[in-house]
Amino acid sequence: MVDTAEGSNAVIPGSTRFERPATQGSDIQLTLDSDLQFTVQNAISEYVARSGARPTSSAVVLDARTAEVLAMANAQTFDPRDLAGASAERLGNPAVQSPFEPGSVNKIVTMAAALEYGLATPTDVLSVPGSIRVADRTISDAWDHGTERYTLTGVLAKSSTSGRS
């Protein structure tokens, strides 16, 4: 871990240091909606407790028009009045620090391209194996299954990662 306090010359390995002097008269505006933040924090904490989801679960709510962050909540929290009592993993912000595979997001992009270029229609029937091999990885659906037949719409509805024609 590297402490990069203001005025420090330390550079995090694998990164470059970028500093820009403050501009007189510029400001930063917090975009969080406190009521929405409270609601989202309660919802994710309750959901993780009820469902057994990973304690590193996070939820981020953005304004679709401006991309402003309206709420950002993590299931694992800490009491800022008791930093000494917080474990190191709770002090981070997994919503912005933890890498994840955005597989389901990519399905939409791939399908949109197939539809736009006329390569597929929503009613085309595809042969969907339980898993596919890509380079040195095996990509599987979240549930075990043999080869099944889904429409393109069905692949999206079931969020099938291995769905292909």
CB-CB neighbours of 27 under 10 Å = 5
Computed over every residue of the chain, the mean pLDDT equals 83
**Contact present, 122 and 114 (Cβ < 8 Å):** no
Half-sphere exposure of 35 (CA within 13 A, CB side): 0
The residues with which 71 forms a beta bridge, in sequence order, are: 61
| pLDDT, one tens digit for every residue, the chain (165 residues) | 444 555 666 665 566 666 678 788 878 888 999 999 999 999 999 999 999 888 888 999 999 988 899 999 999 888 889 988 888 878 888 888 876 666 677 788 888 999 999 999 999 999 999 888 888 888 888 888 899 999 999 988 888 888 754
**Which residues does the annotation mark as catalytic?**
104
Question: Sign of the C-alpha dihedral, residues 82, 80, 89, 40?
Answer: positive
**For the whole model, what pTM was predicted?**
0.52
pLDDT of residue 165: 44
